[in-house]
Structure 1
């Protein structure tokens, strides 16, 4: 297990109240040994004008997952902040929920690198994203 903080899904989901995570209905759904998963609806809040999942919404899901995962890998008063994020959009989604799966590529004492892959309901890859965080 890579996590240094003990947390429940209920506590993670409560963190979304009153901010973008809650506004977009991002829900943390699974804490694995070395992965964190969350889902987001493909609806009016997250679609672009042509009816497809907005790339920016995918990045919000990715950065939310990576930032929370990064925080879970710290201790005490340490915090993490995102310093770079990128995303490759490889398939569109038009409906349902997409699920992000976040896995550490590097968890150092000063920075972390997270891989976040986002899948549609048929488990087809829609977006591959990478987030780098600084540990403060």
Structure 2
């Protein structure tokens, strides 16, 4: 599927995304995966046009990036029997950024049979921490 390749998803993981590609929100925000595994994943996102009225990256955009990355890592962990549903997102914003591309790195804190917890750190192009998020996902059985 072209959508998945355009957003950095390796072919061997295309089955994790049945029928919906990376999703409309991730597509609209320009999220591109650069690494995908249950334990460690990474993605990039352009700052513009994902800004708030003050001209900096919107706090909600940080959260979308974090949840997209953590939920995808959780889905890779659960594949092929389970898929991830986000049940909690907690984010603290440490710094703003007005231009460029941000990079999010997702690290597993817990990979269970029914629940996963990931920490996601978003950084600017200079490697400065912009936000820290913790994302919890429930792993649901895939329909037959």
Aligned pair count reads: 128
Question: What TM-score results when the alignment is normalised by the length of structure 1?
Answer: 0.86
With 25-34 and 95-104 compared, the bigger mean Cα shift is at 25-34
TM-superposed CA distance for 1:116, in Å, is 0.3
Indicate whether 1:8 and 2:10 are aligned: yes
TM-superposed CA distance for 1:32, in Å, is 6.2
Report if the CA contact (8 A) 2:38-2:73 is conserved.
Answer: no
TM-superposed CA distance for 1:33, in Å, is 8.2
SS at 1:109's partner residue?
A: coil
CA deviation vs aligned residue, 1:52-107 (integer Å, no higher than 9, x gap): 11000000000000000000101323111000001000010110000000010001
Q: 5+ residue gaps in structure 1? A: 1-6
Aligned to 1:38: 43
Q: Cα RMSD (Å) of the superposition?
A: 2.2
TM-superposed CA distance for 1:8, in Å, is 1.1
Indicate whether 1:26 and 2:31 are aligned: yes
Report if the CA contact (8 A) 2:39-2:73 is conserved.
Answer: no
Report if the CA contact (8 A) 2:101-2:124 is conserved.
Answer: yes
Q: 5+ residue gaps in structure 2? A: 1-8
Indicate whether 1:84 and 2:94 are aligned: no
Structure 1 residues 52 and 29, CA, compared in 2 at 3 Å: closer, same or farther?
same
Indicate whether 1:52 and 2:56 are aligned: yes
More helix by share: 2
Whole-angstrom distance in 2 between the partners of 1:113 and 1:100: 16
